[in-house]
Amino acid sequence: MKKTHINKSQGDNIKKANNPSGVGSYRFRCVKKIKFFTWLAILLFALPAFGQDWHVPEADKNMDNPSPYTLENVKKGKELYMKNCKSCHGEPGKNNGLPLVPLPPDVASEQMQKNTVGDLYYKITYGKGTMPQFESTVSADDRWRIINYIMNFNPGREKLLANLPAVKAKLLASVNEATKKVEVFAEYFDNGHFIKLPEASITISAQKVFGNLKLGESVTDANGRAEFLIPSTLIGDEEGYANIVIGLNDDYEADKVVLNKVKVGQKKQVPLLIKKGKIIWSTNKNTQLWLLLSYIASACAAWIAIIYVVYQIIKVKRLGKTDNS
């Protein structure tokens, strides 16, 4: 049989005749781009996991904890853990940590407990990836106390701090705006009725936009009463008002008391930005027209871009159907 030779030009013409609109080629390029950006997104999300591979120097790994493993140190370590670590690692034994990549391990888990005390100290001190460093924010002694608390969940150690159910309690509080003094009365439930709660730790905080700012602590006396003087450095709103939050420690189950709109802080200094005719932006009628139009144009452009992307996806699907038919 005689072979027929087709040159490149003839081959291109045949391809165009079979696919005059270039549908297959266009669809192929679009699918290729979608695959590329999909893999790129997967890679970017996976990078933190690769960056969390720990290599602790041998000298640090074999360090001993200079803080004695005592009930007092474990309790202090728990307070520090609740303040600095709970938001990511969650409550011990409940596997309710923050859904990061990689997942922060539960302190009671085998993954956490296989670390030496030296490993833990190194990781807490220097951090890596999604794990922040605490060298500059938590003292060395307190870092070792946190480790004592973590070791409280180690199967090979005596459990000094048991997870006993919280005692039911209640709080009453008031504030004297003139003296800026907070007075607290605490009771706990025992044998069917509430009685005075002595020697209980009370935490006083101020509500802020992104959580509560701890102002200090006080301890109840034999009559269940405690006092706390609001620091003069507390900054309230533009008129000096602040919301004060009073709570008991985690050993007790009690609703926090919120003293709303009490005038115990300094007046918040707000820069004067609204100067008629001399500003480019404000929240009132003095907003410049050109700036408002620029904002609207930017928002419209963003929506047009989104609509265009959706249109291209629909177009690819339609071309795919046409090609298959």
DSSP, residue by residue, 178-247: TTTEEEEEEEEEETTEEEE--S-EEEEEEEETTEEEEEEEEE--TTSEEEEEPPTT-B-STTSEEEEEEE
Give percent above pLDDT 90 in the chain.
Answer: 49
Average pLDDT over residues 41-45: 57
Buried b / exposed e over 70-86, threshold 16 CB at 10 Å, is eeebbbbbbbbbeebbb
Containing 61, the helix (H) or strand (E) segment is helix 58-61
Measured over the CA atoms of residue 225, residue 230, residue 236 and residue 240, the dihedral's sign is positive
| Residue 52 confidence class, pLDDT cut points 50, 70, 90 | low
Q: How many residues does the chain have?
A: 325
What is the pLDDT at residue 315?
80
| Residue 305 confidence class, pLDDT cut points 50, 70, 90 | confident
What is the pLDDT at residue 4?
54
Half-sphere exposure of 110 (CA within 13 A, CB side): 0
What is the pLDDT at residue 10?
54
DSSP, residue by residue, 84-131? HTHHHH-STTS------SSPPPPTTSHHHHTS-HHHHHHHHHH-BTTB
Express each pLDDT in 110-151 by its tens digit. 999 999 999 999 999 999 888 899 999 999 999 999 999 999
Is residue 233 within 8 A of residue 203, CB to CB? The reply is: no
Q: Say what the alpha-carbon torsion angle 276, 278, 284, 287 is, to the nearest 10 degrees.
A: 130
Average pLDDT over residues 206-229: 91
In this structure, what DSSP letter does residue 252 have? Answer: E
What is the pLDDT at residue 208?
87
C-alpha separations of 241 from 116, 175, 179, 208 in Å: 48, 12, 14, 12
303 pLDDT exceeds 70? Answer: yes
C-alpha separations of 206 from 131, 209, 237 in Å: 28, 10, 12
pTM of the model: 0.49
Average pLDDT over residues 294-310: 85
Express each pLDDT in 9-35 by its tens digit. 555 555 555 554 455 565 666 667 666
Nearest 5°: phi and psi at 124? -65, -40
Q: What is the mean pLDDT of the chain?
A: 82
